[in-house]
Amino acid sequence: MDEIFPELQYFFKSGLHQKSVYALLKEAPTPEAIASMHMTHLAHFLKVNSHGRFDKKMAQQLRVLAQKSIGASDSSLSIQVTHTIQQIELLDSQLERVEAEMTEIMKFNDSVIMTIPGIGYINGGMILGEIGDIHHFSSLNKLLAYADLDPSVYQSGNFQAKKTRMSKRGSKVLRYALVNAAHNVVKSNAAFKTYYDAKMAEGRTHYNALGHCAGKLVRIIWKMMTDNLEFNLE
């Protein structure tokens, strides 16, 4: 698109990667094709495929943009655009099926970690899928290490670094899922929010503070899965 219609990526506030834009580019993959569309058809097409977000005024602006585009006129590029969109849509549909299956599996398993506020079926599925049987980890520290969340703390006398680094020797997938989950739990649970704020007050970065929250979350998950306990930080 940088070659065929470079202005388009700045026209839509949410960018190119949305279903309404994909639909437009499959029907009219070049500026010339968009510029030649009848205004009534273009306006209706955008309105229907955007569920009313794009109106006639936007359609008019888009057609003017297409008429003035400096993009290259190349049929091979337009074919690449439509083929790429089809590939993205195929991958999206496959991802949706996988996520639907994960959701059903998580509902069937009814894991105690699903009682943690902010953890959804997909994130919970990633966490459980990476941890597996909690009893495979003989200690909490081994689970923390596997999750890439055991801090490598550098100390000198009474000094403790504010920007504590996290080791990188375990499961990147588990670490990603836990940090993402921690982000949601901070927004959903007062105790985690207080802990996050305390870390930020120490001068840590947002991501570093989330890493510590994820470590706290691992400790809770360890206890919950080991003793089959529901979430409770009252």
**Mean of the per-residue pLDDT values for the chain?**
87
Give the residue among 184, 205, 87 at the shortest CA–CA distance from 126. 184
- pLDDT, mean of residues 90-110: 92
CA distances from residue 72 to 2, 5, 49, 113, 223 in whole angstroms, order as listed: 9, 7, 26, 53, 60
Q: What distance in Å separates the CA atoms of residue 87 and residue 80, rounded to the nearest whole number?
A: 10
User: Which of 20-29, 148-157, 177-186 is predicted with the least confidence, judged by mean pLDDT?
Assistant: 148-157
| Per-residue pLDDT reduced to its tens digit, 167-205 | 456 788 999 999 999 999 999 999 999 999 999 999 999
pLDDT value for 170: 74
Q: What distance in Å separates the CA atoms of residue 49 and residue 96, rounded to the nearest whole number?
A: 20
pLDDT value for 159: 30
Strand, helix or coil for residue 156: strand
Tokens of 229: 């306990």
- pLDDT, mean of residues 123-133: 92
- pLDDT, mean of residues 91-110: 91
Amino acid identity of residue 180, one-letter, is N
Q: What distance in Å separates the CA atoms of residue 201 and residue 81, rounded to the nearest whole number?
A: 48
pLDDT value for 151: 57
Say which residue the tokens 């980890």 belong to.
Answer: 137
Q: Is the pTM of this model over 0.75?
A: no
pLDDT value for 196: 95
Tokens of 153: 């703390």
51-77 as b/e, with b when 16 or more CB fall inside 10 Å? eeebeeebbeebbebbeebebeeeeeb
pLDDT value for 234: 61
Q: What distance in Å separates the CA atoms of residue 58 and residue 179, rounded to the nearest whole number?
A: 39
